[in-house]
Structure 1
Amino acid sequence: MRYVLLIVVVLLGLPADSYGQRKKTSGKKPKTTTQKKVKYDRLPPDVELGTEVRRDVLNDKGEVVAVEVTTVEKRLRELKARYRKDLLVDSKGREIRFFHPLCRGVSAGAEEDEQERRAKDEELAALRQKYTVIILYCDPRQVM
């Protein structure tokens, strides 16, 4: 009785269209689609594909809610970047620029830090008006 029940369960588990049929295969290998690999070989000298960059996560109101760390290569793929006449541009045709944020381990003083932070913020705002900006990540553990 156990064997009959086991056979019934196995037969019910098989798909109906393949029951009793042999799998038809040809000697040819299936075609594999190769993804077009984009090389970003003309990056600035201080930026490599493995360099960590910051990606801001925005809410519905456009406010920064979180910051993700990714690589230059992944970020360029997200932006669908390509070269146009030796310029790195995004999918909309805007030039892509890399921005080095203020990153220091030792404070020079509260006033100097605030002045430098304001200057960097103004520089970033000016760049964002004209270009697509990728902000390099400043790892606080490595600054000292």
Structure 2
Amino acid sequence: MMKIFTAAVLSLLLFSLVACCSTAQKKSQPAKAMQTAAKQFACLPGDVKPDDIVSYGEKEVSAQEKLIELNADCIDGRLVDGNKREIRFFRVACFGNPPYNYDEIRQREQEEIEKLKQNYTVVVIECNPMIM
């Protein structure tokens, strides 16, 4: 009986150790990806981090994922897409309770985005719909 109990305890400890180590290994993989992204996108603007969410839909899209999609790279200190067009980020204003001039703010933002799109590839950073 004691042998069965000891075997069960050892099995449980071994299982816990394997689960622990595989979880730690999985957690370190995204960290390595972020380090690679940090090097690849060293010229990312200071207010944008690779893991910032830029789009909320069926699947959240991070800045890093969007930049990979655009084939982005740092060239001469500028963040450019695959066509060598400079990338700019535009963070829209987010409100819990919209102000009285909400429509004016949205219109100004849209005009500014359109103006930026004439010269740059624009990545619009959306608001988290769960906060709004």
Q: Percent identity?
A: 32
- Once the 2 structures are TM-superposed, how far is the Cα of residue 68 of structure 1 from its aligned partner? 5.5
Q: Secondary structure at the match of 1:43?
A: coil
Rounded to whole Å, the distance in 2 between the matches of 1:68 and 1:118 is 27
The residue number in structure 1 matching 2:15 is none
- Once the 2 structures are TM-superposed, how far is the Cα of residue 40 of structure 1 from its aligned partner? 1.1
Going from structure 1 to structure 2, the CA distance change for 1:74 and 1:93 (only over 3 Å counts) comes to same
The residue number in structure 2 matching 1:6 is none
- Contact kept, 8 Å, 1:69 with 1:137, in 2: the verdict is no
**Structure 1 counterpart of 2:115, one-letter code:** A
Structure with higher helix content: 2
Q: How does 1:106-125 map to 2 (within 5 A)?
A: 106-109=97-100, 112-125=101-114
Rounded to whole Å, the distance in 2 between the matches of 1:68 and 1:93 is 27
Listed as ranges, the gaps of 5+ residues in structure 1 are 1-36, 56-65
Q: How does 1:27-106 map to 2 (within 5 A)?
A: 39-54=40-55, 69-106=60-97
- Once the 2 structures are TM-superposed, how far is the Cα of residue 81 of structure 1 from its aligned partner? 0.6
- Contact kept, 8 Å, 1:54 with 1:67, in 2: the verdict is no
Going from structure 1 to structure 2, the CA distance change for 1:119 and 1:94 (only over 3 Å counts) comes to same
* Structure 1 runs, 4 residues or longer, greater than 2 Å off: 66-69
Q: Secondary structure at the match of 1:130?
A: coil
Q: TM-score, normalised by structure 2?
A: 0.65
Structure with higher strand content: 1
**Structure 2 counterpart of 1:138, one-letter code:** C
**Structure 2 counterpart of 1:44, one-letter code:** P
The residue number in structure 2 matching 1:29 is none
Q: TM-score, normalised by structure 1?
A: 0.60
Rounded to whole Å, the distance in 1 between the matches of 2:72 and 2:47 is 18
Rounded to whole Å, the distance in 2 between the matches of 1:90 and 1:54 is 18
Higher-Rg structure is 1
Going from structure 1 to structure 2, the CA distance change for 1:53 and 1:94 (only over 3 Å counts) comes to same
**Structure 1 counterpart of 2:113, one-letter code:** L
The residue number in structure 2 matching 1:135 is 124
